[in-house]
């Protein structure tokens, strides 16, 4: 079966890799960018994957059960299995932080309810092969001395040792490289202009039409132009900084997060001095429809929260700063994985909003099983 994938961010690349192990699929991927997602870009990133921080928040998601939680957990399991394979086959060094996520918890009117919810989740997670721990200020101070536990009245933190963080662009490059080795054809610099329907659907591109048996649209925000989907951009800004001296405990550098602001070590080397801090969540407001731009005030709020949580950041030096757009489905949950209509051979795999890196593997597995059902 010929499968044409439109869009090669993390979602398209993961689908291509997942299908590439199976001889029944003859796969082509087109993307309008001149080449694979670039690592460490600055300024406005042309793809969502190029801007992503790569947090894989699965066990620490405040959900007891359900499809979204299952997809999250499956994502981490897939990466634990596939990343070593990718490193082996491509020789690429894929930064993959396995030291967990520490999420600060703050006093509020409902903090007792919050604590009870976390305690309930702590009891449930072992049945999902995961762990969660509640840490109180003394433990936080001794294990992560870089955190100011008095900032904004933190009452403690939830530590999720089984969650991860990966470098999204390098991971995408590795998936492309490995899929190429398994026979997938990639055509960069080729923009899809629209789908043509019929027995064999096709995609009109800047350099002619490509016929296929099935078309998978995984073009992120660009998917809206190829379908009737209503996807809205949600902007995120982030920064990479370098420190004059190591912070925290060398050898234990988890992701630290508070009020949705994340501090992420760039790598796990004990001498690492570089961190990512991100990301803002900026919605399109009426007066700026179609012209969403990074808001300096949102960045200042992010940076103030980061420095309050980790005071050593005040002396950090900026390495690069960037922004990107997340594809959010309007009025329905993310992500969207469905046929455009009952009889069509056009499959949408898009709208992953804030968790596209985490949800790409479960998306790819679902796409695979949907394609297996096509006669
Ligand atoms: C600042 C920021 C931080 C984030 N942090 C995280 C995080 O920590 N964890 C997480 O899981 N997610 C995170 N995300 C979200 C994540 O980046 C997205 O959900 C994910 O990248 C979406 O992947 P995608 O492949 O669907 O889209 P994209 O990465 O945007 O890829 C779509 C591809 O389609 C191509 N394309 C579009 N239109 C066409 C066309 N007409 N023809 C051909 N090609 C086309 C584009 O060139 C692009 O390469 C973050 C996002 C941002 C902006």
> Is the same domain home to 150 and 243?
yes
Mutate to test the pocket of ligand 1, among 326, 347, 361, 362 (most ligand atoms within 8 A of CB): 326
**222 in Cβ contact with 354 (< 8 Å):** no
Range of weakest confidence among 32-36, 193-197, 317-321: 193-197
pLDDT higher than 80, residue 316? yes
Which residue has the CA at smallest separation from atom 27 of ligand 1? 220
CA atoms within 13 A on the CB side of 326: 23
- 226-279: per-residue pLDDT in tens? 999 999 999 999 999 999 999 999 889 999 999 999 999 999 888 899 999 999
Q: Is 86 exposed, middle or buried (0-12, 13-18, 19+ CB in 10 A)?
A: buried
Which residue has the CA at smallest separation from atom 51 of ligand 1? 52
**For residue 135, is it within any domain?**
yes
For the chain, report the end-to-end CA distance as a whole number of angstroms.
Answer: 9
**Number of domain units in the chain:** 2
> Residue 132: which CATH number?
3.30.9.10
Domain boundary among 313, 329, 345: 329
> Is the same domain home to 125 and 239?
yes
C-alpha triplet 265, 263, 132: angle, nearest 5°? 95
> Residue 215: which CATH number?
3.50.50.60
Ligand 1 center–CA 136 separation, angstroms: 36
Residue position matching structure tokens 């001149």: 34
Chain length of the chain: 375
Ligand 1 center–CA 58 separation, angstroms: 19
> Is the same domain home to 249 and 154?
yes
Which residue has the CA at smallest separation from atom 25 of ligand 1? 9
Ligand 1 center–CA 197 separation, angstroms: 26
Ligand 1 center–CA 51 separation, angstroms: 8
- 68-105: per-residue pLDDT in tens? 999 999 999 999 999 999 999 999 999 999 999 999 99
Ligand 1 center–CA 49 separation, angstroms: 4
**DSSP state at residue 313:** G
pLDDT higher than 70, residue 287? no
> Is the same domain home to 146 and 238?
yes
Q: Which ligand 1 atom is at minimum distance from the Cα of 325?
A: 53
> Distances from the Cα of 27 to the Cαs of 56, 183, 292, 370, in angstroms?
28, 8, 35, 15
pLDDT at 290: 65
**198 in Cβ contact with 88 (< 8 Å):** no
Ligand 1 center–CA 107 separation, angstroms: 34
Ligand 1 center–CA 118 separation, angstroms: 31
Percent of the chain residues past pLDDT 70, beyond the cut: 99
**318 in Cβ contact with 239 (< 8 Å):** yes
> Is the same domain home to 20 and 158?
no
Ligand 1 center–CA 37 separation, angstroms: 10
**For residue 339, is it within any domain?**
yes
Q: Which ligand 1 atom is at minimum distance from the Cα of 205?
A: 42
**For residue 29, is it within any domain?**
yes
pLDDT higher than 80, residue 289? no
pLDDT at 285: 72
Mutate to test the pocket of ligand 1, among 30, 76, 204, 219 (most ligand atoms within 8 A of CB): 219
- 9-25: per-residue pLDDT in tens? 999 999 999 999 899 99
Which residue has the CA at smallest separation from atom 50 of ligand 1? 52
- 92-139: per-residue pLDDT in tens? 999 999 999 999 999 988 888 999 999 999 999 999 999 999 999 999
Any residues with Cβ below 6 Å from ligand 1, and which? 6-12, 30-33, 47-49, 51-55, 191-192, 218-220, 222, 236, 238, 278-279, 324-327, 350, 352-358
What does the alpha-carbon distance between residue 266 and residue 251 come to, in Å, rounded to a whole number? 13
**133 in Cβ contact with 161 (< 8 Å):** yes
CA atoms within 13 A on the CB side of 40: 8
Ligand 1 center–CA 325 separation, angstroms: 8
- 25-66: per-residue pLDDT in tens? 999 999 999 999 999 989 999 999 999 999 999 999 999 999
Furthest CA-CA distance within the chain: 65
> Is the same domain home to 140 and 6?
no
Angle at which helix 67-90 crosses helix 168-181, to 10 degrees, equals 60
> Is the same domain home to 252 and 295?
yes
Q: Which ligand 1 atom is at minimum distance from the Cα of 223?
A: 38
> Is the same domain home to 154 and 246?
yes
Range of the domain at 249: 97-164+232-329
> Is the same domain home to 226 and 298?
no
> Is the same domain home to 323 and 255?
yes
Which residue has the CA at smallest separation from atom 16 of ligand 1? 356
Q: Name the average pLDDT for the chain.
A: 95
> Is the same domain home to 186 and 325?
no
> Distances from the Cα of 277 to the Cαs of 25, 155, 160, 163, 356, in angstroms?
40, 22, 19, 18, 19
Q: Which ligand 1 atom is at minimum distance from the Cα of 349?
A: 26
Q: Which ligand 1 atom is at minimum distance from the Cα of 237?
A: 1
Structure tokens at 181: 């080795």
Res. 343 pLDDT band, cuts 50 70 90: confident
**For residue 87, is it within any domain?**
no
pLDDT at 59: 98
Which residue has the CA at smallest separation from atom 20 of ligand 1? 356
Q: Which ligand 1 atom is at minimum distance from the Cα of 13?
A: 25
Residue 30: phi and psi, rounded to 5, are -115, 145
């Amino acid at each position: 079966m010929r499968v044409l994938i439109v869009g090669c961010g993390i979602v398209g690349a993961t689908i291509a890799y997942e299908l590439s192990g199976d001889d029944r699929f003859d796969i082509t991927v087109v993307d309008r960018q001149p080449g694979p997602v670039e690592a460490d870009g600055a300024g406005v990133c042309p793809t969502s994957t190029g801007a992503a921080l790569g947090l894989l928040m699965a066990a620490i998601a405040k959900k007891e059960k359900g499809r979204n939680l299952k997809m999250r957990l499956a994502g981490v399991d897939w990466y634990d299995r596939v990343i070593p394979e990718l490193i082996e086959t491509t020789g690429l060094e894929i930064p993959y932080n396995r030291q967990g996520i520490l999420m600060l918890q703050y006093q509020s009117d409902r903090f007792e309810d919050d604590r009870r919810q976390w305690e309930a989740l702590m009891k449930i997670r072992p049945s999902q092969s995961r762990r969660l721990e509640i840490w109180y200020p003394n433990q936080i101070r001794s294990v992560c001395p870089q955190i100011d536990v008095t900032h904004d009245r933190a009452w403690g933190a939830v530590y999720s040792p089984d969650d991860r963080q990966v470098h999204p662009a390098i991971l995408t490059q590795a998936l492309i490289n490995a899929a190429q080795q398994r026979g997938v054809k990639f055509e960069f610099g080729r923009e899809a202009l629209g789908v043509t329907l019929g027995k064999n659907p096709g995609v009109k591109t800047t350099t002619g039409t490509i016929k296929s048996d099935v078309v998978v649209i995984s073009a992120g925000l660009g998917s809206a132009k190829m379908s009737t989907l209503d996807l809205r951009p949600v902007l995120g800004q982030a920064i990479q900084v370098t420190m004059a001296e190591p912070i925290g405990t060398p050898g234990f550098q988890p992701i630290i997060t508070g009020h949705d602001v994340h501090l992420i070590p760039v790598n796990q080397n004990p001498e690492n001095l570089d961190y990512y801090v991100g990301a803002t969540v900026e919605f399109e407001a009426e007066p700026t429809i179609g012209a969403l731009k990074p808001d300096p005030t949102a960045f200042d709020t992010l940076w103030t929260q980061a420095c309050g949580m980790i005071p050593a950041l005040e002396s950090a030096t900026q390495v690069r700063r960037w922004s990107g757009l997340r594809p959010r489905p309007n009025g329905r949950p993310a992500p969207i994985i469905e046929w455009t209509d009952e009889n069509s051979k056009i499959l949408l795999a898009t709208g992953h909003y804030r968790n596209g890196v985490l949800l790409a593997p479960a998306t790819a597995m679902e796409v695979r099983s949907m394609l297996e059902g096509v006669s």
